[in-house]
Amino acid sequence: MAIEHIVIVGGGTAGWMAAAALSRIRDGSDLKITLVESEQIGTVGVGEATIPPFVDFQKTLDIDEAEMMAATQATFKLGIQFANWGQVGESYIHPFGAYGYELGGIHFHQVWHALQERGDKRPLQVFNLETMAAYFGKFSRTQDYARDDLPPMNYAYHIDATAYARFLRAYAEKRGVVRRESLVKDVGLHPESGYVTGITLDNGEIIEGDFFVDCSGFRGLLIEQALNTGYDEWTHYLPCDRAVALPCNRDDGTPAPPFTRATAHSAGWQWQVPLQTRNGNGHVYCSAYMEADEAHDILVTNLAGKPTADPNFLRFVTGCRKKFWNKNVVALGLASGFMEPLESTSIHLINTGVNKLIATLSLDGVNEAQASTYNRVTRKEYERIRDFLVLHYKATRRDDSEFWNYCRTMDVPDTLTEKIEIFKANGQIFREEDELFTATSWAAVMMGQGIAMHGTSPMAAGVIDGVAKEVDEMERSIKWLVQQMPGHQQYVERYCPTT
């Protein structure tokens, strides 16, 4: 059946990202797009840290960066600082961008390791622009440099997610997306095919559609409640199942740092996301080891300013739907699954979900091959991200609480065990199935939490004599560039002051 009407259920970050991106395929067709959202239900109200592909999402939509950043109180993000993960008192930065650069197919951290074996004392961090800029609170975009022989700056944003959804709503409505404000009361299914035929609003009106995008949040109104798709739980590997979020002001005069903070506590971890005039904060924790009151107290004790709202208590189950595309429904955002926001991957998965949907969709109708391919690729994407998140817990040396004892000793997926063992042997990292996280990401977390390379890569050892000058130059140019950069706060105030 031809697709003439796409109905999006939900107007959170997922719903409006889908609406904005899909509005671009309306051009030159009669395709109708309707988004239904309910203010009575509201949105999850969190989700402020992003990763670099999100910058490309704005570019695909021809969104002016400075305008979007001003509208969302945004700041720049160069990576995440993890504190107390390997051991209490330790910290490291997982940066965007690479350590050094690939030298003949060898990862730079392997070359660095070979240099260390020869007595070089320089830390790996001095070969990463984003880490050095983050340490010094500096920022510049690549296009600001006067020279083109310098490493690019890889960044993402911290955004006010509610303001971002509002921003995209204006974008999508301008391009013909029709918004309906109503509670969805019922979902109609075709008696034979089981395809969704329409949704019933609380005034009794039925909105019929040919294709549906379920962005209804954790409840999964279409994908789960109507289609009973099923959910694969990953709570064994990612046992945190609660969060309490609490924004605070930043009136202590400190500049907004260009990175997210993720600080581990006794049964979970706390995020701090600096926006232009406030910080987003939250404490993700495991209810088997901590009560809500204690989680809230820990968060309040560790806030950098005064709370500006009531605490928002949230529950979740880590895992994903057995199918992301079922019949004529694709689930995006929280409706499709959830992994905790340790590496800011949820909005990214909305982004890649929308991209895959647009790439796959034909207005002539849906077929099984589209759904099964979408499901297979998305499942792999989820699993590779899951492994990376699990690494943060597994690679702890903490033994100061029951929670960390569980994480340190838990079984993990074989795919992760193999990755760790190969890294220990000589620092090699194989990226599989187009996975999101790079060799630098894996190396940053493994080394940051105390997993060492025991052996030297013979290939790396073989090149170090020839690359000594290049390596010195790399360090010098990063140092020089960071010195030239303005402070991050100063940059934001000039480039995209909040409106």
The contact set with ligand FAD (CB under 6 A) reads: 10-15, 36-38, 41-44, 46-50, 161, 183-184, 215-217, 219, 221, 243, 245, 282, 314, 316, 333-335, 341, 344, 346-347
Evaluate whether 214 touches 199 at the Cβ level (below 8 Å): no
Q: Of 221 and 371, which CB lies nearer to ligand FAD in the complex structure?
A: 221
Q: How far is the CB of 366 from ligand FAD (least distance, A)?
A: 22
Q: How far is the CB of 441 from ligand FAD (least distance, A)?
A: 16
Q: How far is the CB of 109 from ligand FAD (least distance, A)?
A: 27
Count CA atoms closer than 13 A to 440's CA, side-chain side. Answer: 21
β-sheet with 231-233: strand ranges across: 231-233, 319-321, 337-338
Q: How many helices (DSSP H) and strands (DSSP E) are in the chain? A: 14, 22
Evaluate whether 381 touches 352 at the Cβ level (below 8 Å): yes
CA distance 369 to 477: 49
Both tokens of 30, joined, read 């009669």
CA distance 261 to 138: 16
Q: Of 50 and 75, which CB lies nearer to ligand FAD in the complex structure?
A: 50
Q: Of 13 and 140, which CB lies nearer to ligand FAD in the complex structure?
A: 13
Question: Of 32, 59, 77, 306, which one is the catalytic site residue?
Answer: 77
Contacts with 210 (C-beta within 8 Å, 6 or more apart), sequence order = 1, 2, 3, 4, 5, 6, 328, 365
Both tokens of 458, joined, read 């013979």
Q: Which residue has the tokens 């042997």?
A: 425
Q: Of 6 and 474, which CB lies nearer to ligand FAD in the complex structure?
A: 6
DSSP assignment letter at 487:
B
Q: What is the DSSP string of 200-229?
A: EETTS-EEE-SEEEE--GGG-IIIIIIT--
Q: How far is the CB of 215 from ligand FAD (least distance, A)?
A: 5
**Does an H or E element contain 292, and which?**
helix 292-301
Both tokens of 46, joined, read 């969190």
Q: Of 38 and 328, which CB lies nearer to ligand FAD in the complex structure?
A: 38
Q: Of 226 and 416, which CB lies nearer to ligand FAD in the complex structure?
A: 226
Q: How far is the CB of 192 from ligand FAD (least distance, A)?
A: 26
* Strand 5-9 with 91-95, pairing: unpaired
Q: How far is the CB of 338 from ligand FAD (least distance, A)?
A: 7
Is residue 327 flagged as an active site residue? no
**Does an H or E element contain 76, and which?**
strand 75-77
Contacts with 56 (C-beta within 8 Å, 6 or more apart), sequence order = none
Q: How far is the CB of 422 from ligand FAD (least distance, A)?
A: 29
Q: How far is the CB of 159 from ligand FAD (least distance, A)?
A: 9
Q: Of 36 and 474, which CB lies nearer to ligand FAD in the complex structure?
A: 36
CA distance 354 to 17: 8
Residue of 435, 340, 446 whose CA lies nearest to 394: 446
Q: What is the DSSP string of 33-51?
A: EEEEE-TTT-------B--
Q: Of 10 and 100, which CB lies nearer to ligand FAD in the complex structure?
A: 10
Q: Which residues are annotated as catalytic?
A: 77
